[in-house]
Amino acid sequence: MKVIFVGTGAIGVPMACQIQRAGHAVIGVDVFEASRQRAQAQGIEAVSRIAEAPEADVVVVMVATPQQLQALVAEALPQVAGQHWVIMSTVGPQAVREAASSLIAAGAQVVDAPVTGGTARASTGELVIFASGAPAAIALVEPVLKAMGSVSIVGDEVGEGQGIKVINQHLCSVHIVAAAEALNLAQSLGLAPAQVLKLVERGAAGSWMLSDRGPRMLEGTDVSVSSAINIFVKDSGLVAEAATACHAEVPLLQVAHARYLAAAEAGLGQRDDSRVIETWSKPAN
């Protein structure tokens, strides 16, 4: 298939590479020169605007925010007829439904397919994809989706995939903050956080986020960025908005969201999300 991949950032480029390795023709789109250069360094041609991209069968969207999705759709509407759009960004149920409404009215098909797994799994084609939408639309884009990871079809309505991702990000948001608090507690108790981490991650207290983020929390501010604080500012905010819309109580999420905001306000927004640990008075680093 001919594929346009919008959003060649840290996770977008390895996703696009997996699609290309599966035999599809891929062109990237990103407004940032550095992101386009990242794509080109991996053998993927990239342009700055979707209007500059050639015709395509499938448009994969991996932008950062609901506002970016809205702007992208507005720009692309004149050329979307006959295309299948796969919205993989974490933007929340309401944003994806609004985008789908505009795209479908202009003659496109839409699949809601957010992902989880981060850059590591994106690089190996092992993302977990929550796909929802019309069965025929999912079937057509499934070869592209399977190039990036395992596909779980969660419903036939656009927005259901984002709903699952909201729950996923609720847990991720809370688990990272819980891991940071626990490692800070270990240090405050006079224990060696690295030793505590090795011991507790093997038992009932273990979690994927503890094992993945914990070691990075112990490395210090300059640890390589896998997922930035600002991503969790956005994602935990989307969870809070979705919870408010359905009148669900999420007190733990609110605590976690406040920690990400505090980290961003402390100048850590572009740092790895593990640096949320620095919002405690005695960071373990």
pLDDT of residue 120: 85
For residues 70-91, average pLDDT:
96
Kindly tell me if the per-residue pLDDT of 13 is higher than 70.
Answer: yes
Over residues 16-65, the pLDDT tens digits come to 999 999 999 999 999 999 999 999 999 999 999 999 999 999 999 999 99
The answer to whether the predicted template modeling score (pTM) of the entire model surpasses 0.85 is yes
Residue 240: HSE in the Cβ half-sphere, 13 Å Cα cutoff:
17
CB atoms near residue 247 (< 10 Å): 6
Kindly tell me if the per-residue pLDDT of 78 is higher than 80.
Answer: yes
Catalytic (active-site) positions = 165
CB atoms near residue 65 (< 10 Å): 18
Over residues 178-231, the pLDDT tens digits come to 999 999 999 999 999 999 999 999 999 999 999 999 999 999 999 998 889 999
Kindly tell me if the per-residue pLDDT of 284 is higher than 60.
Answer: no
Q: Please, what is the average pLDDT of the chain? A: 95
3-state helix, strand, coil split of the chain in percent (to 5) is: 55, 15, 30
pLDDT of residue 122: 94
Q: What is the DSSP letter of 272?
A: B
Write the Ramachandran bin of 170: left for phi over 0, alpha for psi from -120 to 50, otherwise beta.
Answer: alpha
What structural domains does the chain harbor?
2-158 (3.40.50.720), 163-279 (1.10.1040.10)
Residues in the chain: 285
pLDDT of residue 114: 97
Q: What is the DSSP letter of 6?
A: E
For residues 68-88, average pLDDT:
97
Structure tokens given for 51: 């209007």
Report whether 263 contacts 228 (CB < 8 A).
no
pLDDT of residue 21: 97
Report whether 13 contacts 125 (CB < 8 A).
no
Q: Which helix (H) or strand (E) holds 261?
A: helix 251-263
Kindly tell me if the per-residue pLDDT of 282 is higher than 90.
Answer: no
Q: What is the 3-state secondary structure (H, E, C) of 196-254?
A: HHHHHCCCCCCCHHHHHHHHHHCCCCCCCCCCEHHHHHHHHHHHHHHHHHCCCCCHHHH
% of the chain at pLDDT higher than 90: 94
Kindly tell me if the per-residue pLDDT of 77 is higher than 90.
Answer: yes
SS3 of residue 151 by DSSP:
strand
